[in-house]
Amino acid sequence: MTDQQLSERPMRRALALAANGPATGVNPRVGCVILNGDGQTIAEGWHRGAGTPHAEVDALAKIPAGGAVGATAVVTLEPCNHTGRTGPCALALIQAGISHVVYAVGDPGHASSGGSARLRAAGIDVESGVLADEATALIADWLAAARLGRPFVTLKWASSLDGRAAAADGSSQWITGEAARADVHSRRADADAILVGTGTVLADNPSLTARAADGSLLRAQPRPIVIGTRSIPADAAIRSHPQSPIFLKTTDLAAVLHDLHDRGIRHAFIEGGPTLASAFVAAGLVDEYLVYLAPTLLGGDRLALGDIGVAGIADARRLGIASVDRLGDDVLIVARPVTTQNHPTPSPAVAPTDRDAHRTTDLNKETRN
């Protein structure tokens, strides 16, 4: 059995531990397993959220002083090399006497990266890339946000097979069935924020909560973000959301994303309707598409997307299919820009060009998906 194969077993355990952490927030989910010289597990740890011990420190705290000398630390993310609310994990491993570190995926953060170099400089044997794909999938949104300084953006819509998000009279409840709607609410709960335009709020008065099948609120709730310049009534349902809504009176989408990143939001979930959706697509700011297709035909002009700047087939926005799942009678297609389908690296958060400006200034006319 190769060294890589020997490392995979504890790394799978570390990934399982990492999944216990919160899916949202400024910090990633990380797990750590520490092995003695015989390959036996002597401690485990995982990160429980911002301000709490990182996974490596959590595991080391369970070992008596001197008990980690010569041990191996298996971590899902490269040990950090900076001081924030907690100290550098690379330094903690060095001080504990760890002799070998195995990690899955590198830390792309400008401030937090460099842990592996620090470990090697201290004479520690470092191995990287073990189960990298699995680790990347677990924290893909955080990794993207760390690289770009903006949230990972998921765009969701539900439509008929002929691409309509509503019937000719504007009605859209419900295009998809219960299984698809339950999946949407679960994914809402996994995001830091849910974005809509003012038109959606004014037309549909949505609550934007993540709910169970019986209507009760799920434990995790996305922060509601309303984009656009029109005022929202004092009695709007969104104002009763468990998370205080943020109203951004702008149509500069790049500025919106940078603002949200500064507020600690790392994963933004867009449900705003065709106008807002089209603006984000046209600006090249969508990293993941969730398209729920119902086996029905509606016809008419209520399309899920409007103008996205595609004048001819050569301009088409090419996507790669990440997965296709059956949800009751409906189908969910998860797609990503072809350059990001395997290891998501979203498009740069640049401001919309003059060509795109007219697509980002009409968010007040938003309609519901």
Q: What is the DSSP string of 237-284?
A: GGGGSSSPPEEE----HHHHHHHHHHTT--EEEE---HHHHHHHHHTT
Residues 132 and 164 in one domain: no
CB 341 within 8 A of CB 250: no
Domain count, the chain: 2
Residues 132 and 152 in one domain: no
- Say which residue the tokens 């065709």 belong to: 274
pLDDT at 171 over 80: no
Looking at the chain, the whole-number percentage of residues with pLDDT higher than 90 is 62
Residue 156 structural domain = 144-365
Averaged pLDDT score across all residues of the chain: 86
Distance of CA 355 to the CA centre of its chain: 28
CB 300 within 8 A of CB 160: no
Return left, alpha or beta for 367; rule: phi > 0 is left, psi -120 to 50 is alpha, else beta. Answer: beta
| Vertex 307 angle, CA 304 and 311, to 5° | 130
d(CA 160, CA 106): 41
What's the pTM value of the predicted model, to 2 decimals? 0.79
CA dihedral of 258, 205, 199, 240, whole degrees rounded to 10: -30
Residues 85 and 161 in one domain: no
Residues 192 and 112 in one domain: no
d(CA 14, CA 34): 9
Give the model confidence (pLDDT) of 193-241 as tens digits: 999 999 888 888 899 999 998 899 999 999 999 999 899 999 999 999 9
The two most distant CA atoms of the chain are separated, in Å, by 72
Residues 134 and 152 in one domain: no
Residues 121 and 194 in one domain: no
The pLDDT value recorded for residue 56 is 96
HSE at residue 162, side-chain half, CA atoms within 13 A, is 9
d(CA 10, CA 8): 6
CB 45 within 8 A of CB 53: yes
Q: Last residue of a domain, which of 105, 138, 171?
A: 138
Contacts for 347 with CB less than 8 Å, ≥ 6 apart: 284, 285, 286, 287, 337
Residues 89 and 161 in one domain: no
Q: Last residue of a domain, which of 80, 103, 138?
A: 138
The pLDDT value recorded for residue 4 is 61
Q: Active-site residue 56, yes or no?
A: yes
Residues 30 and 95 in one domain: yes
Residues 148 and 259 in one domain: yes
Q: Last residue of a domain, which of 81, 110, 138?
A: 138
- Within a 10 A sphere around the Cβ of 70, how many other Cβ atoms? 11
The CATH number that applies at residue 239 is 3.40.430.10
At 339, the pLDDT band (50, 70, 90 cuts) reads: low
DSSP letters, 25-86, are: SSS---EEEEE-TTS-EEEEEE--STTSPPHHHHHHTTS-TTTTTT-EEEEEEPPP-S-SSS
Among residues 171, 187, 189, which one has the least CA distance to residue 179?
A: 187
Residues 53 and 129 in one domain: yes
Residues 26 and 133 in one domain: yes
The pLDDT value recorded for residue 7 is 82
The CATH number that applies at residue 42 is 3.40.140.10
Among residues 218, 206, 213, 217, which one has the least CA distance to residue 178?
A: 213
pLDDT at 358 over 50: no
Token code pair at residue 285: 């700011």
Please provide the size of the chain in residues.
369
Residues 156 and 44 in one domain: no
Catalytic choice (56, 78, 271, 366): 56
DSSP state of 351: P
Looking at the chain, the whole-number percentage of residues with pLDDT higher than 70 is 89
d(CA 124, CA 118): 9
Token code pair at residue 104: 């899955």
CB 248 within 8 A of CB 259: yes
At 81, the pLDDT band (50, 70, 90 cuts) reads: confident
d(CA 253, CA 274): 15
Average pLDDT over residues 340-349: 39
Give the model confidence (pLDDT) of 290-307 as tens digits: 999 999 998 888 898 888
- Within a 10 A sphere around the Cβ of 9, how many other Cβ atoms? 15
